Chain A
Amino acid sequence: MTQYQVSAGEKKFIGWHLLTAILALAVGSLFGPLQAFEHAGWDFYPYIKPLIKSYYQGLTVHGVLNALVWTTFFIMGFLTFNVIFGLKRPLKNLTLNKVGFWMMVAGVVAAAIPILANEATVLFTFYPPLKANWAFYVGLTLVVVGSWVEGWGLFMTYFDWRKENPNERSPFIAFASILTSLLWQICTLGVAVEILTMLLPWSLGLLETVDPQLARTYFWFTGHPLVYFWLLPAYISWYAMLPKQAGNGKMFSDSLARLSFWIFLVLSTPLGFHHQYVDPGVPPAWKFIHSLLTFGVFFPSMMTAFTVVASLEHAGRKQGGKGALAWILKLNWKDPSVAAQLLAGLLFFFGGIGGLANASYNVNLVLHNTAFVPGHFHLTVATGVTLSFMGISYWLLPYLTGKQLWKPKLAVAQSWIWFIGMIIFSNSMHVLGLLGAPRRVPLGLAPYVPAEWNSRLFQVGLGGAILFVSGALYLTVMLMTALNKETVKEEVQVPIAEAMQDPALTPLWLDRWAPWIYGTLALIVIVYGPQLVEQIANIALTSPGFRVW
Chain B
Amino acid sequence: MAKKDKEDDEFRPTGTIAVLAIFVITLIAIWATIYMILVGRGGTL
Contacts and interface: CB of A to CB of B under 8 A. Distances in A.
Contacts of B15: 309, 313, 316-317, 321, 323-325, 327-328
Given A363-B38, A501-B2, A503-B2, A313 B31 contact: no
A85 B22 CA distance: 37
A298 to B, nearest CB: 10
Interface stretch (A105-113, A158-166, A352-360, A388-396): A352-360
A310 B37 contact: no
Interface in A326-357: 327-328, 349-350, 352-354, 356-357
Interface of A: 250, 252, 305-306, 309-310, 313-314, 316-317, 321, 323-325, 327-328, 349-350, 352-354, 356-357, 360, 362-363, 365-367, 434, 498-504
A360 B27 contact: no
29 contacts: A250-B2, A250-B8, A252-B13, A305-B20, A305-B23, A309-B13, A313-B13, A316-B15, A321-B15, A324-B14, A325-B15, A327-B15, A349-B26, A350-B26, A352-B27, A353-B27, A354-B30, A356-B27, A363-B31, A363-B35, A365-B38, A367-B34, A498-B2, A500-B8, A501-B2, A502-B1, A502-B2, A502-B4, A503-B2
Contacts of B4: 500-502
The 9 A-B residue pairs whose C-beta atoms are closest, nearest first, are A324-B18, A310-B13, A498-B2, A310-B16, A313-B15, A309-B16, A353-B27, A502-B2, A357-B34
Nearest to B1: A502
Q: Say what secondary structure dominates the interface of chain A.
A: helix
A321 B19 CA distance: 14
A54 to B, nearest CB: 33
B19 A363 contact: no
B17 to A, nearest CB: 8
A350 B34 CA distance: 14
Contacts of B37: 366, 434
Nearest to A356: B31
Contact of A362 (B20, B23, B27, B38): B38
**Residue among B4, B15, B20 with max Cβ neighbours from chain A (10 Å):** B15
Contacts of B27: 352-353, 356
Nearest to A349: B23
Interface size, B (range): 20 to 34
A503 B1 CA distance: 8
Contacts of B14: 324
Contacts of A305: 20, 23
B15 to A, nearest CB: 4
Nearest to B11: A314
A357 B8 contact: no
Nearest to B14: A324
Contacts of B1: 502-504
B31 A353 contact: yes
Given A499-B2, A503-B2, A504-B1, A363 B16 contact: no
Contacts of B26: 349-350, 353
A475 to B, nearest CB: 32
B14 to A, nearest CB: 7
Nearest to A305: B20
Contacts of B23: 305, 349
A279 to B, nearest CB: 15
A498 B8 CA distance: 12
Nearest to A327: B15
Given A250-B8, A309-B20, A357 B13 contact: no
B16 A306 contact: yes
A434 B34 contact: yes
Interface string B32-43: 001101100100
A400 B27 CA distance: 40
B1 to A, nearest CB: 5
B13 A366 contact: no
A503 B30 CA distance: 38
A306 B30 contact: no
Which among B8, B34, B41 has the greatest number of chain A C-beta atoms within 10 A?
Answer: B34
